[in-house]
């Protein structure tokens, strides 16, 4: 229990991450299971809460597209059913008042990622630079249509032709 609590001290963890950490520390299977059950009982291990936290952290600090967030959640051992529930939750444009500063939709997240990337510089006007900006957004997990609409909404009608 001591190892698990110290591991949870830095940030929330998934059940899979905690299980790996305890096994790496040499804990016996019954101890691992009992520890995970107890931590789940008291609310310290909750994969759905971790998925919400991870999505919020991404929106706040390094906006990513839905596909990228889901891939990152899978890397942390989150199950398909929790990811499906998170997808429905994360896609809803309604946010609580304390989350008003966070982007609500995929397009908002793409615009936020683009703004952070450009850091106040204007959107490039030449075709190759626009294509690089579009590929930057695609690498962040945004689909092609979202990238096109984001670049179009920033005032670059030529952008859609270059990203085909």
User: Same domain for 91 and 113?
Assistant: no
The domain boundary residue, chosen from 78, 99, 120: 99
User: Same domain for 120 and 93?
Assistant: no
Q: Which of 16, 59, 61, 65 is nearest to 36 (CA)?
A: 16
Q: Lowest-pLDDT range, 82-86, 92-96, 119-123?
A: 92-96
Distance CA 44, CA 4 (A): 10
User: Same domain for 125 and 87?
Assistant: no
User: Same domain for 37 and 61?
Assistant: no
User: Same domain for 94 and 134?
Assistant: no
Q: Lowest-pLDDT range, 89-98, 120-129, 153-162?
A: 89-98
pLDDT tens-digit profile of 16-41?
999 999 999 999 999 999 999 999 99
Distance CA 134, CA 162 (A): 9
Q: Is the pLDDT of residue 81 over 90?
A: yes
pLDDT band at 97 (very low <50, low <70, confident <90, very high): very low
The domain boundary residue, chosen from 99, 126, 141: 99
Q: Which two tokens stand for residue 26?
A: 């040499």
User: Same domain for 52 and 35?
Assistant: no
Count of domains observed in the chain? 3
Pinpoint the alpha helices (H) of 76-163.
80-91, 106-118, 127-139, 144-153, 159-162
User: Same domain for 36 and 74?
Assistant: no
Percent above pLDDT 70 for the chain: 85
For residue 70, the enclosing domain spans: 47-99
Asked whether the beta carbons of 148 and 159 are under 8 A apart, the reply is yes
């Amino acid at each position: 229990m001591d190892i698990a609590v110290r591991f949870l001290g830095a940030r929330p963890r998934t059940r899979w991450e905690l299980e790996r950490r305890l096994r790496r520390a040499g804990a016996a299977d019954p101890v691992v299971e009992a520890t995970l059950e107890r931590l789940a009982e008291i609310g310290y291990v909750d994969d759905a809460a971790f998925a919400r936290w991870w999505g919020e952290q991404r929106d706040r600090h390094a906006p990513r597209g839905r596909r990228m967030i889901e891939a990152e959640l899978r890397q942390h051992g989150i199950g398909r059913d929790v990811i499906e529930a998170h997808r429905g939750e994360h896609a809803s444009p309604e946010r609580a008042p304390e989350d008003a500063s966070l982007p609500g939709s995929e397009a908002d997240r793409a615009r936020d990622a683009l703004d952070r990337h450009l850091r106040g510089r204007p959107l490039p006007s030449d075709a190759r630079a626009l294509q690089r900006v579009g590929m930057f957004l695609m690498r962040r997990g945004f689909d092609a249509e979202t990238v096109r609409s984001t670049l179009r909404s920033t005032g670059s009608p030529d952008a859609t032709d270059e990203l085909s």
